[in-house]
Structure 1
Amino acid sequence: MSTLTKTEARVSGPLVFDPYDYAFQADPYPVYRRCRDEDPLHHNPDLDLWVLTRHADVQHAVRTEGVYSNAMGVSIDRSAWGPDAHRVMSFLGMDPPRQTRLRSLVSKGFTPRRVTELVPQVERLTALHLGRCVERARDGEGLDWIHDFAGRLPMDVISEMMGVPEADRAELRRLADLVVHREPGTYDVPQAGMEASLHLVAYYAEMVAQRRRRPTDDLTGALLAAEIDGDRLEDEEIIAFLFLMVVAGNETTTKLLGHALFHLTRHPDQEAAVFTDVAAGEQLVSPWIEETLRYDTSSQMVARHLLADVSLHGRTAPAGAKLLLVLGSANRDDRVFADPDRFDVFRDKAEVAQLLSFGGGRHFCLGANLARMEAQIALRELVRAVRRVEVDHAASVRVHSVNVRGFASVPVRLEVR
C-alpha cells in the first residue's frame, strides 16, 4: 500500500487541523475546505482544540456576546493563553466591561482624525522607500519587496505615529518578527519570542515614562492624556496597546502588501489590467486590496475561550474549551463567495463586502482604516511608478506563524515607467 504524501493526506486522508504544521502553513486552504464540508465544528484531540471554519458560524461568533470569550487571549500558544493575555494583547485579551472601558479610552487617542492626518506622512514615507526601490530598478537591480518596502513602510508609519525614533525602528521590527515566528515542532512561544516580547515591553515602558516627564503630541502622548469622566489609562495599559500595535498592526499590513503583489502577479491578465494604464490601475487599487484581504488574509485565525457549550452541526464544544475562529477559511467559503479559490480583482463588490479579515462586533480591528489607507497609498504609488512587476514566486519565503500568514521575502524585479 502506497504512503500518502502530505499534500494527498490533507486532501483525502484523515482530517487533521494542526496550525503548527509547516505543511499546513504553506497552504492551509485544502484543510479549511475539508473542515467546512466534512466537519465544520472540528476537534483536534491532540491539541484539545475546537475549530469553526464556515463563514456563517464565524460571523455569528464574532458578534455574539457572552459565549466566545477573549479573556484568555487570541493565541493558542500555551504561554500566551491565560488570564494575563491582556498584558501584551491589550483589549484583544478582554471581555466587557473591561474591554469596553479600555477600547473607549484608547479610541480617544487613536482617532479617525489622527489616522486621516497621517496621510501626508504615509505619502512621504512611501515616496522615500518606493523611490529607493525605483532607483535600484532603473539600475537593473532586483529587490526584495518585503525587506526593501513592505516591511519598512508600516513600521515607519506606526513608529512615527507613536513617536519612536527612526534609529530604533529596524530593531523593533526584528523583535516583532521574533514574537510571531515558530520553528518546526514548536507548540508554544519560543524562548527567542519571549525575550523579544520582554525587550519590546521594556522599550515602550521607557517611552511612556519619558512622555510622563515631557508630554508630546504623538499617539503615546495622546494615550497618556486620554480621559473619560476622570478615568485614565494606566501605564501598563498604554504599553500593552503599543505592543499590540507593533506586533499586530505592523505585521499584518506588511503581510497584506506582500500578498497583494504575490497573488496579483500569478494572474498576468489581472496584473496587466492594474499596471498597463495608470488611470485604470488607480481605479483597481481598492478592489485589489479588498480581494487580497479576502483571498489570503494576514490574520488567519483567532482563539476564543468558550463560556458555554456550543452545539453546531451535530457536535458540541464544551464550556471551558479553546476554540479557533478561522477567518481565512470563512473568506473562502463557497456558501458566500463564488469560485472562492480564484483570486479576482473584478469580484462583485457585494460579495467582497462579506469578508471577515478584520473580525467583527466589539472586537472589529481598530486599525482597519489605517491598514487600508497605507495599502491604498503604497499600491497607488507603485502603479504610478512602474508598468510591470515580476515576482519570483518559487523563491518567495513564508513566515512560519500560527495566527499570521504572509511572507518574509518576496524577490521582485520592477519595470519602471
Structure 2
Amino acid sequence: MSVVPDLAGTGAPLLFDPYDYAFHEDPYPLYRRLRDEAPVHHAAADDLWVISRHADVFAALRDDETFSNRMGVSLDALAWSEDAHTVMSFLALDGAEQGRVRKLVSAAFTPRRVRELTPQVQALTERYLDDVLARVREQGEADWIADLAGLLPMDVISEMMGVPVSDRAEVRRLADLVVHREDGVRDVPLAGIEASLALMDYYLAMVTERRARPERFAGDLTSALIAAELDGERLTDGEIQAFLFLMVVAGNETTTKLLGNALFHLCAPAQRTQRDEVFAAPHEPGALVVPWIEETLRHDTSSQMLARYVVRDVEVAGTTIPAGAKALVLLGSANRDERVFTEPTRFDLHRDRAELAQILSFGTGRHFCLGANLARLEARVVLEHLVRRVASVEVDAARAVRVHSTSVRGFASLPVRVIERDGRGA
C-alpha cells in the first residue's frame, strides 16, 4: 500500500487499498483525502495511479487516445490484458474498433427495444413486490436484495437475451461470483475465474444454437445481434458472446446495487423527512422517484472505479503519470467532489438538476454506458410501484451485508420492514 503525507491533519497515513474490506464499507472519507491531498496518487503496492477529482476523471474518460481501454477496465491483474475485449466487448476497445462493435450492438440494442421492455419490467416488479409484501406479513421482514433487487434485473436481461427461465438462477449465481472479491486475495479469485468461463461457454452455446435454428428464437436480443448489419459488417460469434457477458455482469450487477443503494440511503435516520416526503405521494410517485434515482447515482454509485492504460506520459493535476501505467479513475469520488457538488456528503432529493447533470456514474463520451436507459427504466418502475403500494419502509442497516468487490458497490442482503397502504405489514 502507498502512503502520502497527511496534509489534512487527521493524524492517519493515507492508504489506498481497493481490496480492503474496510474500504468497501465506506470509501468516501478516503476519496475526500485523495482529492484534497493527492488528486493523482501512486498506490505503489498495486502500481496504480489513482485519479480522484471530477475535472480530471471527466477529462480522462473522454481521452481514450491517452487513457486507453485496450487492456480492459478492471484493476485486477488477471483481467488486465490486450485480450480483455473478448470478455468486455467494446468496453475494452478504442477508436475505430470500438466504434464498429458499438454501432453494430446498438443496431440491436436500440432505445425502442428498451422502451418495449416496460410492460415486462412492470409485470416482474408486481410479481416480486407481491412476494416481498407477503414475506413481510408472514415473517415480519423481507430481504430487498434476495427477494426483489437481485432477481428483477437478471430476469429483465435474461428475458431480453432469450435465456430460459430454468437457467436464470444459475446465471445469476455465476454473475455474482464474477464480481465478488475474497478477503486477502488481491486479484480475481478462482471461483470468479471459473464463473467467467462458465458464463462465456453458456453464451457461446446460445449463439451457436440460434445460428443453427434461427426460426425458433426470432425476436430476442441474441438473434438481433446475429442479424445486425452495418455497411456490410456483422458481429462475429465471439463479439456477440462478449457483449452478452458484459450485459449480464455490468447490466445486472449495477442495477441490483442501484436499487439497494436507493432504499438504504433514503431510509437512513437522517433522511426521515425526505423518506416521508417520497412515500406521501402515492398517486404521483414520479415527481420524487426520478430525483431519488439520480441522487442515488451521485451519492453512492454502483460503479466506483474504472482502470485505464496510459498510452503516453501525461500530466494530471501537476503529477506526471508515465506511459505504460495503469490509471484508476474514481467515479465515486468524482461524484462527491466539492468543486462541483454542493454539500456532496448530504443525500438531497432536491439537489439542483444542473449539478445532477454532472454525475459520472455512467461515464461520459464514446464509452458512455449503453445500458444507462435500461438501468434508469428498471429503477423507476420498481421504485414507483413501491411508493404506490407501501406507506413506509424501514431498513435494518445494522444487519445489512455488503458486497465486496473492486468494481461495484452495494449490498448482498438488505433486511426491510414495510407498512402497506392498507395498513398491513410491520
Shared fold (TM-score, shorter chain, > 0.5): yes
> Which residue pairs with 1:175 in the alignment?
174
| TM superposition score normalised by structure 1 | 0.96
Q: 1:235 aligns with which of 213, 237, 244?
A: 237
Q: 1: distance between equivalents of 2:38 and 2:236?
A: 44
Q: 1:311 aligns with which of 315, 324, 339?
A: 315
The Cα shift of 1:234 comes to: 0.5
The Cα shift of 1:279 comes to: 3.2
The Cα shift of 1:348 comes to: 1.0
Q: Secondary structure at the match of 1:279?
A: coil
Q: 2:334 aligns with which of 317, 330, 334?
A: 330
The Cα shift of 1:414 comes to: 1.2
- How many residue pairs get aligned? The number is 409
> Which residue pairs with 1:5 in the alignment?
none
Q: 2: distance between equivalents of 1:218 and 1:12?
A: 57
Q: 1: distance between equivalents of 2:134 and 2:263?
A: 19
> Which residue pairs with 2:396 in the alignment?
392
Task: Summarize the alignment of residues 25-44 of structure 1 with structure 2, pairs less than 5 Å apart.
Answer: 25-44=24-43
The Cα shift of 1:134 comes to: 1.9
Q: 1: distance between equivalents of 2:283 and 2:295?
A: 19
Task: Summarize the alignment of residues 15-164 of structure 1 with structure 2, pairs less than 5 Å apart.
Answer: 15-139=14-138, 141-164=140-163
The Cα shift of 1:277 comes to: 2.7
The Cα shift of 1:78 comes to: 0.8
Structure 2 residue 263 is the aligned partner of structure 1 residue 261: yes
One-letter amino acid of the counterpart of residue 242, structure 1: L
Q: Secondary structure at the match of 1:328?
A: helix
Q: 2: distance between equivalents of 1:33 and 1:334?
A: 9
TM-align CA RMSD:
1.3
Q: 1: distance between equivalents of 2:420 and 2:251?
A: 30
Superposed CA deviations along residues 218-251 of structure 1, whole A, max 9, x for unmatched, are 0000000001121110001000000000001000
One-letter amino acid of the counterpart of residue 92, structure 1: L
> Which residue pairs with 1:4 in the alignment?
none
The Cα shift of 1:204 comes to: 0.6
The Cα shift of 1:11 comes to: 5.1
Q: 1: distance between equivalents of 2:290 and 2:11?
A: 37
Superposed CA deviations along residues 239-265 of structure 1, whole A, max 9, x for unmatched, are 000000000100000000000000000
Q: Secondary structure at the match of 1:304?
A: strand
Check whether the contact 2:162–2:222 (CA below 8 A) recurs between aligned residues. yes
Q: Secondary structure at the match of 1:250?
A: helix
Superposed CA deviations along residues 60-87 of structure 1, whole A, max 9, x for unmatched, are 1111241000000000111100101111
Q: 2: distance between equivalents of 1:50 and 1:140?
A: 48
CA 1:11–1:291 in structure 2 vs 1: closer, same or farther (change >3 Å)? Answer: farther
Task: Summarize the alignment of residues 277-316 of structure 1 with structure 2, pairs less than 5 Å apart.
Answer: 277-316=281-320
| TM superposition score normalised by structure 2 | 0.94
Q: 2: distance between equivalents of 1:313 and 1:402?
A: 24
Check whether the contact 1:305–1:322 (CA below 8 A) recurs between aligned residues. yes
In percent, how many aligned pairs have the same letter? 64
CA 1:278–1:99 in structure 2 vs 1: closer, same or farther (change >3 Å)? Answer: same
Q: Secondary structure at the match of 1:394?
A: helix
Q: 2: distance between equivalents of 1:50 and 1:62?
A: 14
Check whether the contact 1:75–1:303 (CA below 8 A) recurs between aligned residues. yes
Q: Secondary structure at the match of 1:61?
A: helix
> Which residue pairs with 1:199 in the alignment?
198
CA 1:104–1:274 in structure 2 vs 1: closer, same or farther (change >3 Å)? Answer: same
Check whether the contact 1:273–1:280 (CA below 8 A) recurs between aligned residues. no
Structure 2 residue 251 is the aligned partner of structure 1 residue 249: yes
Task: Summarize the alignment of residues 378-389 of structure 1 with structure 2, pairs less than 5 Å apart.
Answer: 378-389=382-393
Superposed CA deviations along residues 257-310 of structure 1, whole A, max 9, x for unmatched, are 000000000011111001123135431000000000000000000000001112
Check whether the contact 2:56–2:317 (CA below 8 A) recurs between aligned residues. no
The Cα shift of 1:22 comes to: 0.8
The Cα shift of 1:10 comes to: 11
> Which residue pairs with 1:357 in the alignment?
361
One-letter amino acid of the counterpart of residue 192, structure 1: A
Between stretches 286-295 and 204-213, larger displacement belongs to 204-213
One-letter amino acid of the counterpart of residue 266, structure 2: L
Check whether the contact 1:129–1:148 (CA below 8 A) recurs between aligned residues. yes
One-letter amino acid of the counterpart of residue 353, structure 2: K
> Which residue pairs with 2:5 in the alignment?
none
Structure 2 residue 373 is the aligned partner of structure 1 residue 374: no
Check whether the contact 1:201–1:243 (CA below 8 A) recurs between aligned residues. yes
Q: 1:410 aligns with which of 411, 414, 417?
A: 414
Q: Secondary structure at the match of 1:97?
A: helix
Q: 2: distance between equivalents of 1:12 and 1:342?
A: 25
Q: 1: distance between equivalents of 2:75 and 2:36?
A: 24
Superposed CA deviations along residues 60-116 of structure 1, whole A, max 9, x for unmatched, are 111124100000000011110010111111111111111111001100100001001
